[in-house]
């Protein structure tokens, strides 16, 4: 039985899982969830994710939600397939740290900026300049720390590409299409890291899925 | 004999207490290194070397220095897999997947509203900061929605990830303790049958009682 991902190709969380599956060259079935129609809040979807959020994931009898739990499952259980997305032993400790940094320091700020600069206009709502300014200031501090980190390490977690980097890709894809791009461009190590990870074929495959929708 | 691991930060910090609870569950000896936050020690260059975001906790084990409380907990459970509570972060991939799911749920859905409420209700008054009533109301609503989902889950499961107490449950202890003891939010938990049962059980664990004692004495 093939793995299933329930979600929307435009959801950053669903993208996180799709990128991981492509990195590992794993076969899966993508089951679109019509969020505009509120499908994610209906009974049959709540059975997969009681929080009513995408993505939801199935591998045989195993059902999972929370994109970062799903990517970790995929990375560990299919460790020998495709790109290694975690490390063994000591470097994994640091990979774990930067996975949490993405979740707690980068994502909350990046999400607010994406909401203001990307999603609101899709829904005919006006951008709140004050919120943008506040979150750009927060992002600047985070990116300064990333710049220092990437001066000591080729990728965030260790010397290879791991989930710590991958988890940033959906947010980066959105933000690099907005004026926030200049904040990444202004920091040489960050800029090089962004260019490197966004050039990965797995991301291109997921973006191609978007263009087909 | 290896030196005890080091935890930097005050036990009163929710994130620090998350790590302390894990260390007690795993029977891992540790040394608590004070960080004088009132004097801004956590924002000074020496501390920023070990935690660049200027937050507590930070953690050292032999030559490794790490931060982010949930990453520290995972590290402790991986490195000391054979010590203390072996079910805390199971090595079985299917069980671990469920633990990770609920640990992420805590991190993404429970932590934001509960942290905001802990700050507003427990810490703001001590810091002479005016409480933001709108923020309290908004986060109370969010918290109750999450607790409804938890109550449904805990109807068919003794703990969040399954039959055993795991890192997923442990991660909820710090914020919930403040909400119930100082934040006057006990009723939100006790009025929900399964959540009430679950909270009583996890907060009665010896490991958590030890952490609460440490919080009282600092």
Q: Which of B66, B104, B105 sits opposite A97 (nearest CB)?
A: B66
Residue A123: predicted pLDDT: 87
- Between strands A3-7 and A28-32, the pairing is parallel
Contacts for B19 with CB less than 8 Å, ≥ 6 apart:
B7, B57, B59, B69, B72, B73, B76
Residues in chain B with CB shorter than 8 Å from the CB of A148 are 52
CA B19 to chain centre: 7
Q: Given B66, B94, B101, which is nearest A69 (Cβ)?
A: B101
pLDDT in tens, A1-36: 899 999 999 999 999 999 999 999 999 999 999 999
Tens-place pLDDT, residues B67-104 = 999 999 999 999 999 999 999 999 999 999 999 999 99
B31–chain A Cβ distance below 8 A for any pair? no
Yes or no, beta carbons of B75 and A76 under 8 Å apart:
no
Q: Is the pLDDT of residue A210 over 90?
A: no
Closest CA to B113 of B191, B172, B32: B172
| Interface size, chain A vs chain B, as Cβ–Cβ contacts under 8 Å | 70
Nearest CA in chain B to A142: B53
Q: What is the mean pLDDT of residues A107-132?
A: 96
Q: Which two tokens mark B188?
A: 């939100």
| Statement: residue B1 has pLDDT above 70 | no
pTM for the predicted model, two decimal places: 0.97
**Whole-angstrom distance, CA of residue B1 vs CA of residue B87:** 25
Say if residue B218's pLDDT is above 80.
no
Residue B97: closest C-alpha in chain A: A73
**B97 contacts A64? CB cut-off 8 A:** yes
B99-143 per-position pLDDT tens digit = 999 999 999 999 999 999 999 999 999 999 999 999 999 999 999
pLDDT digits (tens, 9 = 90+) for A141-185: 999 999 999 999 999 999 999 999 999 999 999 999 999 999 999
Q: Do A149 and B67 touch (CB under 8 A)?
A: no
Range A179-196 average pLDDT? 98
CA distance A129 to A125: 12
């Amino acid at each position: 039985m093939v793995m299933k991902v329930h979600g929307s190709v435009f959801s950053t969380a669903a993208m996180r899982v799709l990128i991981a599956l492509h990195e590992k060259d794993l076969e899966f079935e993508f089951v679109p969830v019509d969020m505009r129609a509120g499908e994610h809040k209906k009974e049959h979807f709540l059975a997969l994710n009681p929080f009513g959020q995408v993505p939801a994931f199935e591998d045989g009898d195993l059902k999972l939600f929370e994109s970062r739990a799903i990517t970790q499952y995929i990375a560990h259980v299919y460790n020998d397939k495709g790109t290694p997305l975690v490390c063994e032993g000591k470097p994994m400790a640091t990979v774990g740290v930067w996975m949490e940094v993405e979740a707690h320091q980068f994502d909350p700020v990046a999400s607010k900026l994406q909401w203001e600069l990307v999603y609101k206009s899709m829904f005919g709502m006006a951008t709140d300049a004050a919120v943008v300014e506040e979150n750009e200031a927060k992002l600047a501090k985070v990116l300064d720390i990333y710049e220092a980190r990437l001066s000591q390490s080729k990728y965030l977690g260790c010397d290879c590409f791991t989930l710590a980097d991958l988890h940033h890709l959906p947010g980066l894809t959105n933000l690099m299409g907005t004026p926030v791009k200049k904040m990444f461009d202004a920091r040489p190590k960050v800029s090089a890291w962004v260019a490197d990870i966004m050039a990965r074929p797995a991301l291109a495959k997921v973006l191609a899925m978007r263009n087909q929708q | 004999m290896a030196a005890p691991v080091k935890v930097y930060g005050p036990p009163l910090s929710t994130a620090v207490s998350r790590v302390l609870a894990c260390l007690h569950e795993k029977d891992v000896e540790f040394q608590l290194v004070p960080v004088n936050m009132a004097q801004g020690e956590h924002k000074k260059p020496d501390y920023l070397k070990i935690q660049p975001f200027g937050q507590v906790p930070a953690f050292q084990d032999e030559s490794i220095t790490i931060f982010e409380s949930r990453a520290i907990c995972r590290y402790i459970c991986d490195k000391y897999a054979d010590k203390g509570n072996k079910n805390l972060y199971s090595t079985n991939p299917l069980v671990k997947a469920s633990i990770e799911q609920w640990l992420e749920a805590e991190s993404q859905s429970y932590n934001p509203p509960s942290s905001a409420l802990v700050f507003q209700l427990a810490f703001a008054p001590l810091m002479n900061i005016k409480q933001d009533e709108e923020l309290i109301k908004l986060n109370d609503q969010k918290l109750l929605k999450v607790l409804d989902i938890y109550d449904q889950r805990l109807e068919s499961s003794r703990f969040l990830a399954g039959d055993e107490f795991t890192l997923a449950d442990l991660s909820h202890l710090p914020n919930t303790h403040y909400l119930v003891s100082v934040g006057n939010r006990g009723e939100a938990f006790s009025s929900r049958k399964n959540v009430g049962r679950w909270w009583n059980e996890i907060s009665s664990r010896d490991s958590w009682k030890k952490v609460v004692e440490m919080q009282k004495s600092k």
